[in-house]
Amino acid sequence: ILFHFYYIVNYCLNKEIISLQALLPNPASSDENTEEELTEKTFHQKEEFYHNKSYEMEPLVLTLVQTGEPERIRNLNVNDSSTHIGITGPTALRQLKNNVIISTTLVTRAAIDGGLDYDSAYQLSDHFIIEAEKTGSPDVLYALLGQIPYTFAEKVHEAQTPNSSDEAVQAAIHFIQQNTNLPLTVSDVAEHVGFSRSYFSTYFKQQLGFGIAAFINRCKLEEGRRLLQYTNKSVSVISNYLCYSSQSHFQKAFKKQFGMTPMQYRKTPGKSVR
């Protein structure tokens, strides 16, 4: 009945005969259009969200890659885009692929600045770009955008962490890295792994090429650098926290390690240091 009503009205107005099929929705077309609309809507919602937060996230994520801190990246819940890129493609899918390529380029540079060798960095970069170009899934591309900085940070961490297969040496390294806020001594480290001071200090240096005291100082200074960049704590408070004998001692050690004073570093937190 309803069809006949539309049939008569259409003929009276347009002098046109309309078929039943023309009045019925096309299920395939409807589903396809709905899917396209939902995909585009989801894409633009995500882009708007990450556009707003990415200005904060980008320098932080790139710095964490450079300093080799994958766990801190994981704690940020970077599971989509972490950098503001803008419009880079004519379609949602092409935009996401381009974002992966651009993000990979930025992160690769940060990783090289952090000590990852060029060959390893660009091999990993090529891997992510190829994976992005192969897929047609937005979910996979968003997952890649989260995976890229974490994986690069892991590689930087491995490059920065002294490499030894010896369990005692690895235990000592971990102990030192986890206790930068304590007044650690060579004796403390040797005792922790169950050896005498004289034996283990010699063994540690034979294994890694530098002494325990030098590594303790290096780890404290790396922690100091993070505190300068991500907190408002004064140089004096940081120096005391890291158990340096004086603020002057901390400042001299920091400048020797990084080529600038703590205050100079704080004013240029995004600058690569030697």
End position of a domain, from candidates 160, 190, 208: 160
CA atoms within 13 A on the CB side of 214: 11
Nearest to 61 by CA among 50, 52, 72, 53: 72
**pLDDT value for 169:** 95
Average pLDDT, the chain: 80
In a domain? residue 11: no
Q: Which of 45-49, 91-95, 208-212 has the lowest mean pLDDT?
A: 45-49
Contact 160, 148 (CB under 8 A): no
**Residue scoring higher pLDDT (126 or 15):** 126
Judge if 54 and 145 occupy the same domain: yes
In a domain? residue 24: no
In a domain? residue 176: yes
Judge if 62 and 139 occupy the same domain: yes
Judge if 199 and 229 occupy the same domain: yes
Q: For the segment 67-111, what is each residue's pLDDT rounded down to a tens digit?
A: 898 988 888 866 544 444 455 556 888 888 998 999 999 999 999
Judge if 181 and 257 occupy the same domain: yes
Judge if 181 and 245 occupy the same domain: yes
Judge if 250 and 211 occupy the same domain: yes
Judge if 52 and 122 occupy the same domain: yes
End position of a domain, from candidates 140, 160, 180: 160
Please give the tally of structural domains in the chain.
2
Judge if 85 and 142 occupy the same domain: yes
**pLDDT value for 44:** 55
End position of a domain, from candidates 118, 141, 160: 160
Judge if 226 and 259 occupy the same domain: yes
Domain housing 204: 167-267
In a domain? residue 188: yes
Predicted TM-score (pTM) above 0.85: no
3-state SS, the chain, equals: CHHHHHHHHHHHHHCCCCCHHHHCCCHHHHHHHHHHHHHHHHHHHHHHHHHHHHHHHHHHHHHHHHCCCHHHHHHCCCCCCCCCCCCCCCCHHHHHHHHHHHHHHHHHHHHHHCCCCHHHHHHHHHHHHHHHHHCCCHHHHHHHHHHHHHHHHHHHHHHHCCCCCCHHHHHHHHHHHHCCCCCCCHHHHHHHHCCCHHHHHHHHHHHHCCCHHHHHHHHHHHHHHHHHHHCCCCHHHHHHHCCCCCHHHHHHHHHHHHCCCHHHHHHCCCCCCC
In a domain? residue 26: no
**Residue 227 sits in a domain of what CATH number?**
1.10.10.60
- Report residue 23's pLDDT band, with 50, 70 and 90 as the boundaries: very low
Q: For the segment 145-183, what is each residue's pLDDT rounded down to a tens digit?
A: 889 999 999 999 888 778 778 999 999 998 998 899 999
Judge if 59 and 130 occupy the same domain: yes
Judge if 246 and 204 occupy the same domain: yes
